[in-house]
Structure 1
Amino acid sequence: MRKVREVLRLKHECGRSEREIALAVAVGRSTVGEYLARAKACGLTWEIAKELDDAEVEARLFRHVGRSEPAARAPVDFAWVYLELRRPGVTRQLLWTEYAEHAAAGGSGCRPYQYSQFCDLYEAYRSKLQPSMRQVHRAGEKAFIDFSGKKPSIVDAVTGEATEVELFVMVLGASNYTYAEATRTQSLVDFVGATVRGLDYFGAVPEILTPDQLRSAVSTPHRVDPDINATYAEMAQHYGTAVVPARPRKPKDKAKVEGGVLIAQRWILACLRNRRFFSPEELNAALWELLEKLNTRSFQKLEGCRRSAFEKLDRPAMKPLPPRRYEIGAWKLGVGVNIDYHFEYDHRLYSVPSELLGAKVDVRATATVVEVWLRGARVTSHERSYGPKGMAVTKSEHRPRAHREWGSWPPERLVGWAAQTGLSSITARRRKMTSSSDHLRSRRVMTRWMAASGMAIRTRRRMRRRAGGIAQRACFDVPGADELGTASTQRRSARRRVVVSVRGHGSARVKRRPGCPSAGAGRRSGAAAAPGRRAAGSCRPR
């Protein structure tokens, strides 16, 4: 219609001849004559035509159906076709058959579209249902993350078996600056590590990370409010960025990285198709060489390249990297604190403040550090132990005061404390500090002497009660005590001396004089010993 309008303007407004109009509009002279004849027949002038749109001009000039006009076709309800195709087992061929049968039985006289034209018209209808919104990416705002569907492979040098590995791709929104590397899996450790190395490659941090909703990034997928993985969220918090995943099955939400994956497949993987690699490190070394070429290759329709656009747009708007690189850690939630204010992680024990006895804490462990968290606050941390299983790592400030003081008193303080209870206690304390093995040996000898002397069990208990409880020190000066074997041998011993030092009750000395009867009279009560029993009252303490 543009040329028809121009023919009418040149004829009625400029007064040009048909030959001049044909040369100006680049159409045949006969065509110009036909247009003018049709306009004259319907009374259409330039003053009227310039107020009408193209459809109205066409309707006035070509209102009569000519021999080249196609015949009318039966209309197609494409909304019905769209809904029916969503039902299982329904195909376009089936719907076209039903449409043709309905058109033939309708009695309208209109012929149905053939199958190819039916499909073309439906595609044109469907393309208008879901228009794509053009996204405007601000500098330094987003980095899009995805894994490639086409995977490189590494070869086992021993068996020759080829194993597929993952291709991680990260693209900045404004400059299309790309990072790629090969990882063994899409697991949490590999995914977080690849993201950290991608940020190191950029040398800066964007405001938002937009990954897919894979399990390593999102623990609970959701269209609106997904639950971000705790470790990945901790990594984002360390770098001061946010994680906003794309919606499930919505690749247009991260169209930048979808295009970046396609470019990486064509310009990186395709270039490595004839090479064999035996480790991920070797594969990444070759991959990063091609990545540098990709980022420095000139744009086809824009000025510069990806790197120059990154230096101009993204880098000035991005945040700097933190001083310390993020170190991935494993979380163990709800770990109980034992009665010894220690908890177990990886078969080793670590201490917490004694006030947290019986509490449930969260443990985060890296390769070097074990951290303890309670209600979102870090309580303490330890250097991770790789010693024998069951080894305990304890901080002295975590112990209660009584536990800290136990075993830390110097000998002078112990002697001073014992002086408050008696001189014999000082002697006993000094002997105890001198040799603990002598103490144990003396207790064994004292017990054997009591049994050998025939002392009644009741009398032994009474002696311990008088002495103040548990015997702390027993020292025997008995000739041949090591050779004491039987009760008869012990009865024939000529001289025995027993010194029992008891904490808090001074010293009780029990001495058996030569000729002291071992049985019979001598009890403090004055009663005679029962037949067959030996009296022990004659050897009582003084």
Structure 2
Amino acid sequence: MRHVREVMRMHREACVPMREIARLTCLARSTVRDMIVRFDRWGLAWPVPSEIGDIDLEGRLYGASGVKPGRRKLPEPDWPVVARELKREHVTLQVLWEEYQTEHPDGYRYSRFCDLFRRWEGRFPLVMRQSHAGGEKLFLDYAGDTVPVVVDRRTGEVRGAHIFVAVMGGSSLSFSLATWTEQFPDWIAGNNAAFAFFRGVPQLLVPDNAKVAVIKACHFDPQVNRGYTDMARHYGTAILPTRPRKPRDKAKVEACVGIVERWLLGRLRDRIFYRLAEVNAAIAECLADLNDRRVLRQFGKTRRQLFDEVDAPNLKPLPEEPWTHAEWRRCRVGLDYHIAIDRHHYSVPRRFARREVEARFTASTVEIFLGGERIAVHMRGNGNGRHTTVPEHMPSSHRRYGEWTPAKIREEASRIGPMLSLLMEKVIEAKPHPEQGYRSCLGIIGLERRFGAQRLEAAALRALEIQARNYPSVKSILEKGLDQVPVPQSPEQEPIIHSNIRGSSYYN
């Protein structure tokens, strides 16, 4: 700021020589002389009116700052276009200035180009400087780029591995994990791994509004995924999603994603990976260099040192067991009092048939709830189309039928008699599949209640003699009393003697 008022006061009121004015104001005599000449040239009155400020007075004498009088006007870049191009990946002001120079070789130099752009950019709304307390917030996101992984060495098939990123708000200690997808199970796996890496739990988790975290985005009251809420409750933390379309709310992790993409992906670009574990091992090596050896200039310490001082003392302890990923699904119980989850059927108590229930399933268990009350729990089965049934869930009639097994059928048949036991074996052997003969066996054994064990044993003998192998035949024998009638013996046939018949002696 040129001391125009002070110079003119000493010149006009005190009549101080120019040499002395220059000494007292630490200005050159030529500067003092030029200032007085400019003041007289513009015909300004002394004293200067109070409504004219120092900046306004200097502008009247010297014009706008940074503009040299008489210099030709240089071509002005299209600053909105420059700002949009800067948002694209790998584009810098240096690149844009070189393109500007190609079109206008006599245009602004690089320093002036940057100066004018920053001045134009300064007209936009100010950005709030965020400060985060130690151990308060953990910012979470996925990087935009992926790491190529060869999943089939013979065909060369390549699959992209997504990079999960977590960064502590206080120290900027960063963590990354490669996952196959960005879906909910991998999202939970990334959260669990991050808590284990930081050896503690922050007070708040700050994700964006991705569907894995937020079901319905809202500026005032976002609806967080139920499974993600359960995970936060298990760890004793809370979830604070960012505002929709406000990436500056999580500027910490956005900056970290950029660092990870440059720090990790740039170093791993020429490496070939065949397993996801290889990618995570390489990421761990790069993160050790970023967190433990790279010094932050504004603090003079590494991220790890800042974490140990700022964040670590304020983190909550980890629970004894990590959170197990669970999914929720609404199901309707069928007429067979089972629900289907991933091509496997699980039973519920028979009184809840046709009711709509909620199933919570993990990698190892399936829990079924109705109105918030758990009504059944099972071990997780494979998606093979089979059934997992608890006997207590079945009606008594179904339970009796379901309890019949080949061993129990043989046991009941042998209790009645050996002929019936032999008949049961013949019935089962006559069917293409053993289970197809169960109902016939159950029906035959059930005839004991009507006709008694002794008659049933005799009927089994009669059925074996006449080659009967089904329930209707045995029932008919009993109803007609054939079990009490001996089987007629066929008469012995005399041998035929004829000259054309050689007889058995011929083959001796």
What TM-score do you get using the length of structure 2 for normalisation? 0.64
Structure 1 match to 2:274: 278
Map 1:370-385 to 2 at 5 A.
370-385=366-381
Q: 1:251 aligns with which of 247, 254, 266?
A: 247
Partner Cα distance (1:37, 1:369) in 2: 92
Map 1:448-487 to 2 at 5 A.
470-471=450-451, 473=453, 475=455, 481=462
Partner Cα distance (1:172, 1:129) in 2: 29
Structure 1 match to 2:27: 27
Map 1:129-278 to 2 at 5 A.
129-155=124-150, 156-278=152-274
TM superposition shift of 1:21: 4.5
Cα offsets for 1:211-255 (capped at 9, x unmatched): 233333334445554443343333333323333333444321211
TM superposition shift of 1:301: 1.5
Q: 1:315 aligns with which of 312, 316, 319?
A: 312
Cα offsets for 1:145-168 (capped at 9, x unmatched): 222223322235333454432222
Aligned AA (2:326): G
Structure 1 pair 344/212, CA: closer, same or farther in 2 (3 Å)?
Answer: same
Map 1:82-97 to 2 at 5 A.
none
Q: How many residues align?
A: 401
Structure 1 pair 23/51, CA: closer, same or farther in 2 (3 Å)?
Answer: farther
Residues 337 and 360, structure 1, Cα contact 8 Å, conserved in 2 = no
TM superposition shift of 1:257: 0.9
Structure 1 match to 2:364: 368
Residues 442 and 473, structure 1, Cα contact 8 Å, conserved in 2 = no
Q: 1:435 aligns with which of 416, 430, 434?
A: 416
Bigger relative CO (Cα 8 Å, ≥ 6 apart):
2
Aligned AA (2:329): K
Structure 2 match to 1:303: 300
Partner Cα distance (1:239, 1:222) in 2: 25
Q: Secondary structure at the match of 1:151?
A: strand
Structure 1 pair 395/242, CA: closer, same or farther in 2 (3 Å)?
Answer: farther
Q: Secondary structure at the match of 1:379?
A: strand
Partner Cα distance (2:4, 2:164) in 1: 57
TM superposition shift of 1:351: 3.2
TM superposition shift of 1:199: 1.7
Cα offsets for 1:360-386 (capped at 9, x unmatched): 211122221111122334333222234
Structure 1 pair 157/14, CA: closer, same or farther in 2 (3 Å)?
Answer: farther
Structure 1 pair 205/338, CA: closer, same or farther in 2 (3 Å)?
Answer: farther
TM superposition shift of 1:276: 2.3
Unaligned 5+ residue runs, structure 1?
A: 86-114, 409-429, 444-468, 487-497, 501-509, 513-542
Structure 1 pair 383/24, CA: closer, same or farther in 2 (3 Å)?
Answer: farther
Structure 2 match to 1:288: 284
Structure 2 match to 1:4: 4
TM superposition shift of 1:312: 2.0
Map 1:348-363 to 2 at 5 A.
348-363=344-359
What TM-score do you get using the length of structure 1 for normalisation? 0.60
TM superposition shift of 1:345: 3.1
Partner Cα distance (1:380, 1:431) in 2: 33
Unaligned 5+ residue runs, structure 2?
A: 85-106, 404-410, 425-448, 468-476, 486-508
Q: Secondary structure at the match of 1:152?
A: strand
Q: Secondary structure at the match of 1:264?
A: helix
Q: Secondary structure at the match of 1:350?
A: strand
TM superposition shift of 1:302: 1.0
Q: Secondary structure at the match of 2:295?
A: coil
Structure 2 match to 1:504: none
TM superposition shift of 1:300: 0.7
Structure 2 match to 1:101: none
Cα offsets for 1:235-283 (capped at 9, x unmatched): 3333233333334443212111111011112222222233222222111
Larger Rg: 1
Aligned AA (1:128): R
Residues 351 and 395, structure 1, Cα contact 8 Å, conserved in 2 = no
Q: Secondary structure at the match of 1:31?
A: helix
Which has the larger displacement, 204-213 or 380-389? 380-389
2:323 pairs with 1:326: yes
Residues 49 and 57, structure 1, Cα contact 8 Å, conserved in 2 = no
Structure 1 pair 20/148, CA: closer, same or farther in 2 (3 Å)?
Answer: farther
Structure 2 match to 1:128: 123
Residues 337 and 361, structure 1, Cα contact 8 Å, conserved in 2 = no
Partner Cα distance (1:438, 1:163) in 2: 66
Residues 335 and 363, structure 1, Cα contact 8 Å, conserved in 2 = no
Cα offsets for 1:362-411 (capped at 9, x unmatched): 11222211111223343332222349642434164x56789889999xxx
